[in-house]
A and B are shown apart, each in its own frame.
Chain A
Amino acid sequence: MSKKLRVGWFSFSCSEDSTIIFTELLNDHYEEWREKIEFCSALVLKKKSEIENLDVAFVEGAITSVAQEEKLLTIRSASKKLVAVGACACVGMPAGQRNNFDDKTKEEIKNVLIRFQYADKVKRLAEIVTVDDQVPGCPMDENAFLKILNKYLKEFGIN
């Protein structure tokens, strides 16, 4: 069996719009990708999840809790490359709208933040881990995603 790119697709705080674009890209690219890519973790597609020895982790969403931060660090340590996907992952917005609330609104949501162990501030991925590439857009720009995916297929010697 020829070598495949070991990929994980992960979502944190966001609308998961880039996940939807990703599932739509499968319409045109499934035949090609099934020969070249092993989806080791992608909750939208499968229950089995293997977060180890990944070549590339695609991560959408912003980080809004300590638990999410810890999971992101786990993904980073298990992945040779990590790609931030979509606006929330790249710039922290719009998932991070609460960072900009006025004092009155912050007071209104305070109990929720305390009760469910939210972090003080919503962060973009690069504030926590090294990000090797970014796919901007809300949802992600699909051509930019394909360009980065193809770059890594080449870089990891997948033909």
Chain B
Amino acid sequence: MHNLDLTIADISKIEGKASCEIKIKEGKVESVKFAIAEYKRFYTQAIKDKDISALPQLAARICGTCSNAHLSCAAKAVEAAIGLTVSPQTMALRKLLNYGLMIRDHALHLCVFVLPDFFSKDSILEFDENEKEEHKYLDATFMLKAAGNNLSKTVGGRSVHAPYFTVGGFTKLPTKEELNKHINELAGIRNTVLDLIDLFATRDFTLKMESLTYSAVSDSQYSFLDGDYYISDGRNIQADKYGEYLERIAIDYPQASGYKFGGGITMVGALARLNLAKNKLHPDTKKSAERYLSFFPSNNIFHNNLAQAIEILHAVDSAIDIIKNLKITDEKPMPLVRKEGMGIGLTEAPRGTLYYRLEIGSTGKIASGQIVVPTSRNQIVIEEAIKKYLEDNIERLDNKESVEHEVEKIVRAFDPCMSCVSHFLKVTWIEE
């Protein structure tokens, strides 16, 4: 394709709204602008002067699908700031809530957003129940999402903005009997998850990014909620030093900022986690997915989909273990001490690293906050990936529709969350 001026106004089947502008002139890719098509809701400003007890539930409203990840990260920052260590039971329940989120959120992305591309359909709603394979994945879609959704409901009271979650604990606890009911449901989806892993390992697309680095929070249990920060170039960073490595890149067109990390362009998300920590997956997951784990480390960005499918299995296996070993005792949320302090929350949300840095005043009000979401970290990587695809295929691009379709597939592989990005960060203006 010699010249192209393409604007994809609404990229479909992602979380929130994004657009993409592409300019190709005389056979050269002049620019790729992956832009947020959401208006800001100014959460960085809105959290100021809010009490520490109210902060996590307010911050959760930044994003519907990632809401419970925001709850966990925001609470972690508050608790770090006031020196509060939650009980082992609270940590176990937070992990369960998060595993429910990972199962539901990854399944939504893989089955509802990505699967239609495999079957040349616009939507999961178009799958033919009379066609054996399409029927199988249609059933899988709803079965997987329901298993994650139901687990989060039992632990948190709801799968979105979990109402029982609070700083210092849970306001209502599940009973052991309620939790036990999920063991069969989770065990029952295991084979379906393995089918999904096989599908994404054998039929997904390829776009290799040779010089990309990857980074993720990682602990010994692949818990998503704790650990130091690892980069694929070999550097390890203590969680409380994370902010020092962030380098904000002012981008005026999407009303937000992209980030470099530690001087380079670094991808976050499931692919980064598998590349850096596949040995820390649950033993049953490692055993069942052994042949596919050899794909990692991978520089094929479409393997982010395969990595998510493997993480669903890890979440299933880890959640079953926790439920089997957890004894519920009648604990109240720990009392909050309102005092001046600064706290960091650094966790892995489904789409990658989530960072909260909160300054708290002496009366327990938020003095200032910085929130950096995974899609801001991936902003530049997404543009680079689209550009690489266009450059690699410039002779084969023959119509706008096929370019639009391929670009949407690449964007979906990153599983961006535009609702998260639209919370607001300060912008440095480049005057034209």
Contacts and interface: CB of A to CB of B under 8 A. Distances in A.
Is B one of A's binding partners?
yes
Interface of A: 11, 13-21, 23-24, 26-28, 30, 34, 39, 43-49, 64-65, 68, 94-95, 97-98, 101, 105, 108-109, 111-112, 115-116, 118, 138-139
Nearest to B255: A116
B38 A19 contact: no
B15 A16 contact: yes
Given A15-B63, A23-B145, A116-B39, A108 B45 contact: yes
A20 B64 contact: yes
Contacts of B40: 109, 112
B39 A13 contact: yes
**Could you tell me the dominant secondary structure of chain B's interface residues?**
loop
A95 B149 contact: no
A105 B124 contact: no
10 contacts: A13-B39, A16-B63, A16-B64, A17-B61, A28-B146, A46-B13, A47-B408, A101-B42, A138-B161, A139-B160
Contacts of A18: 64
Contact of B46 (A26, A30, A94): A94
A44 B146 contact: no
Contacts of B58: 94
Given A15-B67, A45-B123, 8 more contacts: A11-B16, A16-B63, A19-B64, A45-B112, A45-B124, A48-B122, A97-B42, A108-B45
Interface of B: 10, 12-13, 15-17, 38-43, 45-46, 48, 58, 61-65, 67, 104, 108, 112, 122-126, 138, 142-143, 145-146, 149, 158-161, 252, 255, 408, 419, 422, 424, 427, 429
Contacts of A118: 39
B389 to A, nearest CB: 19
Contacts of A17: 61, 63-65, 67, 160-161
A34 B429 contact: no
A140 to B, nearest CB: 10
Contact of A26 (B13, B41, B61, B142): B142
B122 A139 contact: no
B410 to A, nearest CB: 15
Contacts of A138: 61, 161
Given A17-B61, A17-B161, A45-B124, A27 B427 contact: no
Contacts of B16: 11, 16
A39 B62 CA distance: 27
A45 B149 contact: no
A139 B408 CA distance: 28
Contact of B41 (A24, A47, A94): A94
A126 B419 CA distance: 23
Q: Which 6 A-B pairs have the closest CB atoms?
A: A17-B64, A46-B123, A47-B12, A97-B46, A27-B146, A15-B64
B406 to A, nearest CB: 13
A16 B112 contact: no
A97 B142 contact: no
B253 to A, nearest CB: 10
Contacts of A68: 39
A17 B10 CA distance: 19
Contacts of B48: 105
Contacts of B104: 24
A34 B129 CA distance: 11
B161 A139 contact: yes
Contact of A98 (B42, B63, B143, B422): B42
A28 B143 CA distance: 9
A124 B142 CA distance: 33
B128 to A, nearest CB: 11
